[in-house]
Amino acid sequence: MKHTISVLVENEFGVLSRISGLFSGRGFNIESLSVAPTLEPNTSRMTIVTTGDDRILEQITKQLNKLISTIKVVDFTSKDFIARELALIKVATEAETRAEALRIVDIFRAKVIDVTPKTYTIEITGAPGKINGILELLRPMGVKEVVRSGPVVIGRGAKGVAG
């Protein structure tokens, strides 16, 4: 089963390799990982999407917690949360498909951020499912390149995750 985990870590030398090394060394799998500093000083937040059964997920969260550099681990899977991902998509466009491409962009509330005679580059944010959706529709035109950020997540409601 797919799990989305937020990890608050010390923003220090080598911390990313501690986390990624933990996953590779113990045979856990990483589907996506994103990381950036938070407002708290010296603190970064990682969002990791991983898969595994309950036993593996319990090990993953425990092992993450065991790292000295880890401040807090939250598995959002059973919680109410919002996930958003950014994707940049370069799609091939011919004169006859341009209008269709724009219609799709419109429907998904995406944006065209770069245009050449033969391509549109589209920016879209949304839940990972929404990005899969637009890709599905654009694919017949010829998607030349996709860059996805991997999702970041935040819990619903007033309470935040803090170290």
Partner 1 sequence: MKLTGSQILLESLKCEGVDTIFGYPGGAVINIYDDLYDSSINHILTRHEQAAVHAADGYARCTGRVGVVIATSGPGATNTVTGIATAYMDSIPLVIITGQVPTPLIGNDAFQEADICGITRPCTKHNFLVKNIRDLARTVKEAFYIARTGRPGPVLIDLPKDIQVNTLEFNYPETVELRGYKPTYSGNFRQIEKAAKMILEARRPVLYVGGGINLSGANAELLALAELTRIPVATTLMAMSAFPQRHPLALGMLGMHGTFCANMSVTECDLLIAIGSRFDDRVTGRIDSFAEKAKIIHVDIDPTSIKKNVAVDLPIVGDLLDVLSKLKESFDQKTEQLGVFREQLREWQSDIETWRERHPMAYQPSDTVIKPQYVIQKLREFSNDDAIITTEVGQHQMWTAQFFSFSQPRTFLTSGGLGTMGFGLPAALGAQVAFPERQVIDISGDGSFQMNSQELATLVQYQLPVKIVILNNNYLGMVRQWQQMFFDKRYSQTVMELPIDFVKLAEAYGAVGFNATQVDEVETVIQKAFATPGPVLINFKVSREENVLPMVPAGKAIHEMVLAS
With CA atoms as reference, report the closest residue to 110 among 138, 82, 83.
138
Residue 32 near partner 1 by CB under 8 A? no
Contacts for 55 with CB less than 8 Å, ≥ 6 apart: none
The type of residue at 68 is I
Separation between Cα atoms, residue 47 and residue 34, nearest integer Å: 5
Length of the chain: 163
Per-residue tokens: 69? 């550099």
Residue 55 near partner 1 by CB under 8 A? yes
Q: Exactly one of 1, 14, 51, 113 binds partner 1 (CB under 8 A); which one?
A: 14
Cβ closer to partner 1: 18 or 98? Answer: 18
Site for partner 1 in 57-116 (CB under 8 A): 58-59, 62-63, 65-71
Residue 9 near partner 1 by CB under 8 A? yes
Separation between Cα atoms, residue 50 and residue 5, nearest integer Å: 8
DSSP 131: H
Closest separation between CB of residue 69 and partner 1, Å? 6
Closest separation between CB of residue 75 and partner 1, Å? 15
Closest separation between CB of residue 29 and partner 1, Å? 17
Cβ closer to partner 1: 67 or 112? Answer: 67
Closest separation between CB of residue 9 and partner 1, Å? 8
Per-residue tokens: 51? 């898969």
Per-residue tokens: 33? 């990982």
Instruction: Give the HSE-up count for residue 161: Cα atoms under 13 Å, Cβ half-sphere.
Output: 23
Q: Exactly one of 25, 41, 117, 129 binds partner 1 (CB under 8 A); which one?
A: 25
Cβ closer to partner 1: 3 or 90? Answer: 3
Binding residues vs partner 1 (CB under 8 A)? 9-10, 13-14, 17-18, 21, 25, 55, 58-59, 62-63, 65-71, 163
